[in-house]
Amino acid sequence: MLELSNVNAGYGAFQALFGLSMRVEAGEAVAVIGANGAGKTTLLRVISGLVPARGGEMTMEGRDLRLTPAHRIVEAGIAHVPESRRLFPRLSVEDNLRMGAFVPAARAKFAERLEYVYALFPRLKERRQQLAGTMSGGEQQMCAIGRALMSGPKLVLLDEPSMGLAPVIVAQVFDLVKRIRSEGYTVLIVEQNVAQVLKVADRAYLLEVGRIKASGRAGDLAASDEIRKAYMGL
Amino acid sequence: MDCHLDIFFLEALLNGLLLAGLLALLALGLNLVFGVIDVVWICYAELVMVGMYGVHYAYKGGLPFIVAAALGIVLVAVAAGLLHVLVIRPVLETAPINQLLVTGGVLFFLQAAATMAFGVEFKNIGISLGSLNVLDMSFSRARILSFVVALVGMLALWLFLTRTYMGTAIRAIAQDRQIMPLMGVDSRRIYLVTSAIGGGLAGLAAGLMVLNYDIYPQIGLQFGPLIFMICVLGGLGSMIGGFVAAFVISQFIAVGSSCFHTEWGYAVAFLFFMIAIFFRPQGLFGAKS
Ligand SMILES: Nc1ncnc2c1ncn2[C@@H]1O[C@H](COP(=O)(O)OP(=O)(O)OP(=O)(O)O)[C@@H](O)[C@H]1O
Ligand SMILES: [Mg+2]
């Protein structure tokens, strides 16, 4: 479904990703793990066009993403739940969801998808008129995921959905990830919560200072001594 | 000082109220553009002036007034769109002072162009709606009409901003610019639409102003500073703030004019502004920076 080969990217003179190659197949949940500053967020930004790829190839179902302007990537079937959620704090929950359905194809299905998202997250329905910025962290994460689903994506990019949440809520967030997985969405998830994310993912990539250091089945990576020591504190 | 709680004082208050509608409409366009694009159109009042000439000549050319006024809205909306694309967009990513200076340059350009094209004399559109007399008070019908139309215009904008995708995006973009592409939104398009709407509001105001005031190339200088003061008092970028501030300021002008002398109305309003901004630098409804 999504394929990257030899992608470079950076900010100004600084290079953050070096010759990165990876793929995500339809129906999979793929995790990207790595330390702070490894380039995980940059990778997702490159995929959704917020940061331009400087070399290499990047396709979504055969469509060349490098030739697609950032605001057209949504129409390729990719929705990005950004790091720290980035809701519109002074818009209501429902207006945030409306923004997720901004593209014309999604507008036509707004009512149907709104009902779907509210069924998935009944809490959002109760809070529909509340300003998004006044909700709890866990509720905001639901809203951010709901907003992404409003565009009717095939692939959902999740950037550290558990960040800044209490342990109980973190468990709930991983349940959410499992839920959207079972709803048939393909998921590419970035996490520092390595032990937990490897339980929900099929495969994973380990990113170190902008390069892929290891990749494989999530279970295998979770069993590797190196990863257990460096990323799971075991 | 000659200030009595008599019928003339009440008349002044009510006239102030009527004036406030027009001022609030004028402040709204500027605030919308600032809140969304983060650019202050120094030449805003001159856009209104262009609209006034447009309505004037369209009417004198034989069009019904309502059509001329509608054309004025379109004219200023297009002018504002061009202003954004040709003047502001090229310097949007640079220091804010550049945006101030380029729109300041447009101010002088528009004044000079209007002087050359239309001459320096005052022009009156020649429509008199007369006045409405209640008890011993007299109110200009043009002012009443302006008040009502301004309120309707503001209500229409509010409905647009809260009920449509484009309006929601306009509110959203001011809160988080970077992630707009993730929503499938082309920010450049939102800025262009916002500029055109800001211009459209100025054009609507222009159509109302020709009924109340004579037109001349420097007319922007007469009310421009007042509009900026209202926006800053309300909290630059706050549309509700601008609305409230317009009513506050126009009452100061009305009462100041009634108690002292017409010229003093503006001075009293500015004095109040200076005191208010000293205690609340971010404006009545502005967020603390
Ligand atoms: N806007 C930016 N401008 C310049 N450098 C940046 C920018 N964003 C990120 N970087 C740099 O790029 C590198 C990768 O950052 P990135 O945010 O992708 O890391 P990350 O793996 O997501 O880290 P974290 O786990 O802390 O979120 C870092 O060295 C960072 O300092
Ligand atoms: Mg990150």
Q: Is residue A53 part of a domain?
A: yes
> What value does the mean pLDDT of chain B take?
92
For residue A89, give its domain range. Answer: 78-153
For residue B288, pLDDT over 60 is answered with no
As for the ipTM of the complex, it is 0.93
DSSP state of B90: G
- For residue A35, the domain's CATH number is 3.40.50.300
Q: Between B47 and B269, name the one with better pLDDT.
A: B47
Rounded to the nearest 5 degrees, what angle is found at the Cα of A216, between the Cα atoms of A211 and A221?
Answer: 95
Q: What is the pLDDT of residue B237?
A: 86
B175/A contact by beta carbon, under 8 A: yes
> In B44-136, at which residue ranges do the beta strands (DSSP E only) sit?
131-134
What is the total count of domains within chain B? 1
- Max distance between CA atoms of chain B, in angstroms, equals 62
d(CA B141, CA A80): 55
For residue B228, give its domain range. Answer: 7-279
| Statement to judge: residues A2 and A73 lie in one domain | yes
Contact B17, B247 (CB under 8 A): yes
> Which spans in chain B are helix H?
7-37, 44-60, 65-82, 96-118, 141-163, 165-173, 187-212, 219-234, 239-259, 262-279
| Statement to judge: residues A88 and A73 lie in one domain | no
Q: Is residue A104 part of a domain?
A: yes
Are A71 and B171 a contacting pair at CB < 8 A? no
d(CA B266, CA B270): 6
The set of residues, in sequence order, having a beta carbon less than 8 Å from that of B136 and lying 6+ positions away, is B7, B11
Q: Is residue B216 part of a domain?
A: yes
Q: Is residue A72 part of a domain?
A: yes
Kindly identify the ligand whose nearest atom is closest to the C-alpha of A17. Answer: 1
Q: Within 10 A of A139 (CB to CB), how many other CB atoms are there? A: 20
pLDDT band with cut points at 50, 70 and 90 for residue B130: confident
d(CA A178, CA A185): 10
For residue B262, pLDDT over 90 is answered with no
Q: What is the pLDDT of residue A160?
A: 94
Q: Is residue A175 part of a domain?
A: no
Strands A55-60 and A63-64, sheet pairing: antiparallel
Q: Is residue A90 part of a domain?
A: yes
Nearest-CA neighbor of B203 among B31, B28, B6? B28
| Statement to judge: residues A3 and A73 lie in one domain | yes
d(CA A25, CA A203): 10
What is the total count of domains within chain A? 2
Q: What is the pLDDT of residue B239?
A: 87
Which residue of chain B comes nearest to A150, CA vs CA? Answer: B183
Each residue's pLDDT tens digit, B171-212: 999 999 999 999 999 999 999 999 999 999 999 999 999 999
For residue B132, pLDDT over 70 is answered with yes
Q: What is the pLDDT of residue A134?
A: 96
| Statement to judge: residues A83 and A45 lie in one domain | no
Q: Is residue A170 part of a domain?
A: no
* Last residue within a domain, chosen from A112, A130, A153: A153
| Statement to judge: residues A50 and A91 lie in one domain | no
Three-class SS state of A193: coil
Residues having C-beta closer than 5 Å to ion ligand 2: A 41, 83
d(CA B171, CA B35): 9
How many A×B Cβ pairs under 8 Å?
Answer: 63
Each residue's pLDDT tens digit, A36-63: 999 999 999 999 999 999 999 999 999 9
Residue whose token pair is 């306009």: B170
Q: What is the pLDDT of residue B131?
A: 86
Q: What is the pLDDT of residue B257?
A: 80
**What are the backbone angles phi and psi of residue A116, rounded to the nearest 5°?**
-60, -45
Question: How many angstroms separate the Cα of A44 from the Cα of each of A3, A39, B14?
Answer: 13, 9, 59
d(CA A37, CA A82): 16
d(CA A216, CA A32): 11
Q: Is residue A216 part of a domain?
A: yes
Chain B nearest-CA distance from A123, in A, is 22
Beta bridge partner(s), residue B137:
B134
Q: What is the pLDDT of residue B256?
A: 82
- For residue B243, the domain's CATH number is 1.10.3470
Rounded to the nearest 10 degrees, the angle between the axes of helix A110-120 and helix A137-149 is 150
Residue whose token pair is 């998202």: A117
Residue A100 CA to ligand 1 center (angstroms) comes to: 25
d(CA B37, CA B32): 8
* Maximum mean pLDDT: which of A195-199, B80-84, B219-223: B80-84
Each residue's pLDDT tens digit, A75-93: 999 999 999 999 999 999 9
Q: Is residue A200 part of a domain?
A: yes
Which residue of chain B comes nearest to A97, CA vs CA? Answer: B183
d(CA B6, CA A234): 85
Strands A78-81 and A155-159, sheet pairing: parallel
For residue A233, pLDDT over 80 is answered with no
Q: What is the pLDDT of residue B289?
A: 52
DSSP state of B86: I
Q: What is the pLDDT of residue B3?
A: 66
